[in-house]
Amino acid sequence: MKVVLKELTKRFANRTKGQPDVIAVNHFNIELPDGKLIGLLGPSGCGKSTALNLISGLEIPTEGQVFFEEDDVTKLPAEHRGVGLVFQNYALYPHLTVRQNIAFPLGNLKGDQKLPKEEVERRVEEAARLVQIDQLMDRKPSEMSGGQQQRVAIARALVKQPKILLLDEPLSNLDARLRLQTREELRRIQRETGITTVFVTHDQEEAMSISDLIIVMKEGVIQQVDEPQKVYTDPVNLFVAKFLGTPEINVFRGTVRNGQLFLGEESVLDVPGVEDREVYVGIRPEGFILSETGRFTMDLKRVEEMGRDTSVIAAHPAAEKPTVRAIISSENEVDRTKETVKFDIKPFRTYLFDIETEERIPFGG
């Protein structure tokens, strides 16, 4: 099912009295396409969970509208929206067994929607098989691992065959190894069911690895909506560029003069079509090419060998941070005896941003 958010806004009264309201979600305009896995990505406290709650109906927006297909559901109570929701802490009922937990939503159906007993059992079994916990049906949540509880929570959300599935930080309570495994699982379940799925995360790697579409949020405002790779290679502003990618992008303050980008006194890159101005420059770690004749000179601090790759840790006065990280193939030899190191930089891994608005400045070439 397609979900459309129009001018969606949620304000909360500030906890400290006298302070202005907190705008958790600020004029969202977005269409969530049918059948896709959508990652809602942003740092903690940016309003992602609130956005999710507005879709589920647990929160009522201050302004704006929520549409399911063509229907305006803005004021429809959560009870009637038929969404599946998985909580960060799973919210499994501790006094019920796995089977009872999964069957719980079906017990809510009334009137002619009410299902016969066999049908309930069949659906519960089906959902349990889908998430591969059909062996543990008579356990209590407290007798299961975090990953298993997570699966039960997903099964419980899926059993009523929701038109949209919402997951709030689904992987954050799992350990690193389980997280990798479970996110693949999530992808598989979404593919198999074809349910439009929105999941909230602060982990950019998680969002990048399984989403069809990523929404990047900051302080209640949507920054960018794009395919995962595009968000990385084509960030619309400095925030998105910084938020995505590990290791983090290197940021410098530079100047554009006569179509050339200056970092410090050196002209490091040709940027045709950009008028003379001050800029922020973002260079991805993999955007450096080691070269004896490179245009960009930095102070060499140390070299970290990491098998396939080599990290060159350098410093530059124009950089925002004390160290700059460049990742190059380990086939390159870095002369560690020298005090400086020279690079060329790849134009398609280098981004210019306005100093005021931090918006991206395109350049040809």
Specify which residues 214 forms β-bridges with.
Answer: 39, 226
Nearer to other proteins, 93 or 348 (CB): 93
197 contact partners, CB below 8 Å, separation of at least 6:
36, 37, 38, 164, 165, 166, 167, 186, 190
User: Is 105 one of the binding residues for other proteins (CB under 8 A)?
Assistant: yes
Which of 39, 57, 170, 228 touches other proteins by CB under 8 A?
A: 57
The CA-based angle 159-162-168, given to 5 degrees, is 90
Shortest CB 97 distance to other proteins, Å? 11
User: Is 77 one of the binding residues for other proteins (CB under 8 A)?
Assistant: yes
User: Is 56 one of the binding residues for other proteins (CB under 8 A)?
Assistant: yes
Torsion angle defined by CA atoms of residues 99, 107, 124 and 95, in that order, rounded to the nearest 10 degrees: -10
Nearer to other proteins, 75 or 277 (CB): 75
Rounded Cα gap, residues 284 and 307, in angstroms: 20
User: Is 114 one of the binding residues for other proteins (CB under 8 A)?
Assistant: no
User: Is 76 one of the binding residues for other proteins (CB under 8 A)?
Assistant: yes
Nearer to other proteins, 57 or 235 (CB): 57
- Only one of the segments 87-95, 185-193, 295-303, 334-342 lies at the binding site for other proteins (rule: CB under 8 A); that segment is 87-95
User: Is 78 one of the binding residues for other proteins (CB under 8 A)?
Assistant: yes
Nearer to other proteins, 94 or 322 (CB): 94
User: Is 79 one of the binding residues for other proteins (CB under 8 A)?
Assistant: yes
152 contact partners, CB below 8 Å, separation of at least 6:
90, 92, 98, 101, 102, 131, 133, 141, 144
User: Is 87 one of the binding residues for other proteins (CB under 8 A)?
Assistant: yes
Q: Which amino acid is at 99?
A: R
Helices (H) and strands (E) in the chain, counts: 8, 21
What residues line the site for other proteins (CB under 8 A)? Answer: 56-58, 69-73, 75-85, 87, 89, 91, 93-95, 104-105, 107-110, 156, 160
